[in-house]
């Protein structure tokens, strides 16, 4: 059995993020850069540019059909949101063709992650959070550690899934038993290697573990509860059918009315079906 | 989502989205009440012209399922939820799973 350390060492062999994303983040950080320059960088990859426009026009953002060019996407959504779409599309593409386990494929995982991202963003909006840029991205990345296990320790990971089912323990507990650590830590190490924003790194690391000291961290709270509710609503498959009970202290941070998520679950499912087609179907 | 309608639009089976108060702030009809034609007459008498009702999204659990179906759905839920709900959020999760099972397996 590979230990988490051996798997982590293999992370060094993982491909780096695509050049277009690194160029893009560099360009966005340069205050002298213009929308035209940044549009050119994105449009250098025609296939990606086309997909970005599809995402920007999806019901998720509410600009259906209005955005025809990358410059308009930047105008309506902002530099960071467009950059997050580029990153999401890149990482989904990078890990979509890996081998599937017995009842669990990378596309199952991406479906679940998209569901969590959509729901977390809706929770953030309901909480009147102004800065929603990282909510969807955090949803996309929260379970990336599972993909690392699927890619670098497929046989052992199948065993972890079966162990969780037979012992009725969480997948994280089974991973710790077999690998010495869980997918949250594996994902965090990758997020760190890729130099993702600090808020994304810590959300990936703690998405199963909302502590008293996390009070006020709305991004983490939204991802934490969305991870649970997405399973209840049936958005994708995270490899494990048992639904955890949210810790009570999370509701001091995510101050939703009970019943709110149920009331939006039909809309979320519609948005989810649309997003799956846009993001996962070529 | 809640939506506002004129009381002329009330139909049997609609659910109140907010409590209905008279001009003195007294609650005449609580939230989550199934409306009938008699309510329309009452509201007119009280001088109320519009009310909030639940949209279809929020009335999704109102489809009737017999006790045997509910029991079967509860058995499936026991395989997915290994804890007992102790607050309204826990109950909501339980209810969302119930909605999904009833919708996908018994509708």
pLDDT: which is higher, A8 or A49: A49
Lowest mean pLDDT among A81-90, A117-126, A160-169, B53-62: B53-62
Least confident interval from A8-22, A34-48, A184-198: A8-22
Contact B55, B2 (CB under 8 A): yes
Distance between alpha carbon B62 and the CA centroid of its chain, in Å?
7
Give the number of other CB atoms < 10 A from CB of residue A112. 23
d(CA B6, CA B11): 11
Mean pLDDT of A101-123: 91
For residues A276 and A171, what is the distance between their CA atoms, to the nearest angstrom?
24
Report chain B's terminal Cα–Cα distance, integer Å.
Answer: 23
Q: Which two tokens stand for residue A128?
A: 């009147």
Summarised one tens digit per residue, pLDDT across range A226-272 is 999 999 999 998 888 899 999 999 999 999 999 999 999 998 998 99
Residue A3 has pLDDT above 80, yes or no: no
In this complex, the residue of A232, A259, A261 whose CB is nearest that of residue B97 is A232
The backbone torsions φ and ψ at residue A238, rounded to the nearest 5 degrees and listed phi first, read -100, 20
Q: What is the pLDDT of residue A145?
A: 93
> Do B96 and A261 make contact, defined as CB atoms within 8 angstroms?
yes
Alpha carbon distance A247, B91 (integer Å): 14
pLDDT bracket for residue A211 (50, 70, 90): very high
Residue A8 — pLDDT band, cuts 50, 70, 90? Answer: low
Cα A195 to chain centroid, rounded: 15
Above pLDDT 70, what percent of chain A?
Answer: 96
Structure tokens at A19: 């050049």
Per-residue pLDDT, B63: 59
CB distance A246–B88 less than 8 Å?
A: no
Chain A interface mutation, best of B61, B62, B85, B92, highest count of A Cβ atoms under 10 Å: B92
Which tokens sit at B46? 């009280």
Q: Which of A245, A246, A258, A268 should we substitute to test contact with B (largest number of B Cβ atoms within 10 Å)?
A: A245
Q: Higher model confidence: residue A14 or residue A26? A: A26
State residue B56's pLDDT score: 60
In total, chain A counts a number of residues equal to 282
What residues contact B77, with CB distance under 8 A and at least 6 apart? B94, B97, B98, B101
**pLDDT for the residue B23:** 67
For B47-87, write each residue's pLDDT tens digit: 787 787 886 654 444 556 777 888 888 999 998 999 999 99
Q: List Cα–Cα distances, A88 to A52, A227, A241, B19, in angstroms.
A: 10, 18, 25, 43
At residue B5, does pLDDT exceed 90? no
- CA B90 centroid distance within chain: 18
Residue B26 pLDDT exceeds 80: no
> Which residue(s) pair with B2 in the sheet?
B54
Q: Between the CA of residue A93 and those of A96, B38, B70, what are the distances in Å?
A: 5, 58, 41
Domain spans of chain B, in order of start: 2-57, 63-105
A26: pLDDT strictly greater than 90: no
Q: Which CATH architecture has domain B2-57?
A: Alpha-Beta Complex (3.90)
Q: In 3D, which of A152, A107, A202 has the Cα closest to residue A11?
A: A152
Q: Which of A248, A262, A266 sits opposite B92 (nearest CB)?
A: A262
Q: What is the pLDDT of residue B106?
A: 65
Quick one: DSSP state of residue B34?
Answer: B
What residue of A is the nearest CA neighbor of B17? Answer: A263
User: CA A175, CA B62: separation in Å to the nearest integer?
Assistant: 41
Q: Which of the four pLDDT bands, split at 50, 70 and 90, describes residue A1? A: low
* Euclidean distance between CA atoms B26 and A107, whole angstroms: 54
How far is residue B9's CA from residue A134's CA, in Å, rounded to a whole number? 42
pLDDT at B57: 52
Q: What one-character DSSP code corresponds to residue B19?
A: -
Task: Specify the pLDDT at position A15.
Answer: 66
Return the top range by mean pLDDT from A20-34, A64-78, B22-36. Answer: A64-78
Name the residue among A242, A248, A262 with its Cβ closest to that of B96.
Answer: A262
Residue-level pLDDT at B96: 95
Whole-angstrom distance, CA of residue A155 vs CA of residue A176: 16
Say whether pLDDT at A219 is over 90.
Answer: yes
How far apart are the C-alpha atoms of B31 and B14, rounded to whole Å?
A: 11
Domains assigned to chain A: 4-16+91-280 (1.10.3210.10)
Q: Does the structure show a pLDDT above 70 at A177? A: yes
Beta strand pairing call for B27-29 and B20-21: antiparallel
Residue B54 three-state SS: strand
At A113, the pLDDT band (50, 70, 90 cuts) reads very high
Q: Which residue from A minimizes the CA distance to B59?
A: A263
Contact A266 B96 (CB under 8 A): no
Q: What pLDDT is attached to residue A106?
A: 87
Query: What pLDDT score does A33 carry?
Result: 84
CB-CB under 8 Å, A261 with B87? no
pLDDT at A162 over 90: yes
Residues 52-81 of B with CB under 8 A from A: 56-58, 60, 79-81
Q: How many angstroms separate the CA atoms of A162 and A242, rounded?
A: 13
Q: How far is CA A38 from CA A49, A53, A73, B51, B99, in A?
A: 12, 15, 11, 50, 46
Name every chain A residue with its beta carbon within 8 A of the beta carbon of B100: 232-234
B49, HSE (Cβ side, Cα atoms, 13 Å): 0
How do residues A33-84 score in pLDDT, each as one tens digit? 888 888 988 888 787 888 889 889 888 887 777 899 999 999 888 888 898 9
Q: Please indicate whether, in this complex, the C-beta atoms of A228 and B89 are within 8 angstroms of each other.
A: no
Mean pLDDT (whole number) for A112-136 = 93
Could you tell me which residues are beta bridge partners of residue B27?
B21
C-alpha to C-alpha distance for B46 and B28, rounded to whole angstroms: 9
Average predicted confidence (pLDDT) for chain A: 89
Residues 6+ apart with CB under 8 A from A215: A249, A252, A253
């Amino acid at each position: 059995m590979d230990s988490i350390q051996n798997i982590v060492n293999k992370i060094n062999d993982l491909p780096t993020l695509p050049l277009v994303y690194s160029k893009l983040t560099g360009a966005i950080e340069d205050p002298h850069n213009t929308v035209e320059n940044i549009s050119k960088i994105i449009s250098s990859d025609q296939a990606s540019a086309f997909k970005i426009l599809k995402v920007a026009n999806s019901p998720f953002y509410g600009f259906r059909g209005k955005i025809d060019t990358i410059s308009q996407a930047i105008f309506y959504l902002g530099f960071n949101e467009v950059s997050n779409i580029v990153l999401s599309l890149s990482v989904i593409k990078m890990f979509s063709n890996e081998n599937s386990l017995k009842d669990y494929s990378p596309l199952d995982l991406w479906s679940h992650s998209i569901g969590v991202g959509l729901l977390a963003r809706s929770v953030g909006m309901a909480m009147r959070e102004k800065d929603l840029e990282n909510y969807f991205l955090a949803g996309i990345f929260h379970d990336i550690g599972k993909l690392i296990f699927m890619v670098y320790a497929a046989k052992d990971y199948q065993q972890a899934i079966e162990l969780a089912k037979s012992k009725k323990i969480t997948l994280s507990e089974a991973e710790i038993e077999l690998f010495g650590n869980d997918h949250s830590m594996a994902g965090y190490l990758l997020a760190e290697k890729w130099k993702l924003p600090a808020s994304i790194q810590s959300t990936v690391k703690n998405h199963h573990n909302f502590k008293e000291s996390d009070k006020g961290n709305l991004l983490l709270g939204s991802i934490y509860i969305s991870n649970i509710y997405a399973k209840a609503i049936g958005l994708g498959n995270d490899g494990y059918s048992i639904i955890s009970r949210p810790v009570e202290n999370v509701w001091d941070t995510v101050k939703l009315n009970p019943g709110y998520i149920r009331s939006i679950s039909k809309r979320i499912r519609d948005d989810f079906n649309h997003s799956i087609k846009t993001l996962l179907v070529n | 989502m809640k939506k506002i309608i004129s009381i002329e639009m009330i139909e049997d089976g609609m659910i109140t989205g907010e409590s209905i108060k008279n001009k003195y702030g007294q609650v005449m009809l609580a939230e989550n009440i199934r409306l009938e034609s008699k309510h329309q007459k009452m509201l007119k008498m009280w001088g109320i012209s519009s009310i909030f009702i639940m949209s279809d999204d929020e009335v999704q659990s109102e489809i009737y399922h017999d006790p045997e179906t509910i029991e079967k759905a509860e058995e499936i839920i026991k395989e997915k939820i290994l804890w007992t709900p102790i607050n309204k959020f826990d109950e909501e999760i339980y209810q969302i799973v119930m909605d999904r099972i009833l919708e996908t397996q018994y509708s």
